Amino acid sequence: MRTCKRERRCRSAAGGGTVDPICHFGATRVAGLLNRLRLHLGTERFLARRRRDLVWEAGCDYAVMAVARLESQLTRTGRSAPIVTRGPRV
């Protein structure tokens, strides 16, 4: 299994044992992740508009609509649920 430098450092610091996966995107709840995604898509859309890239801008618009559709299907409990990461596959 391929691992990144950070994960190898964490494993060596833990004495070679199993290390819990680390979330690299900063969000700990589903709603926070969706908000970050929406922010990044808005930034990408703004940059695409500045460089007059109509295809990328339309893709960002479509992605924002998909995120909104996904969020509308989540319950309040689902939006406030913690993000669970999977451990390494064995």
Per-residue tens of pLDDT for the chain, all 90 residues: 566 666 666 666 656 555 455 555 566 788 888 999 999 999 999 999 999 999 999 999 999 999 999 999 989 888 888 877 665 555
Distance CA 51, CA 57 (A): 10
Looking at residue 56, its amino acid is W
Entry pTM = 0.61
Residues making up the chain, counted from first to last: 90
Hey, where are the domains in the chain? 25-84
- Separation CA 14–CA 21 (nearest Å): 13
Helix segments in the chain, DSSP class H? 5-13, 30-50, 54-73, 76-79
Plot region of 58 (φ>0 → left; ψ -120 to 50 → alpha; else → beta): alpha
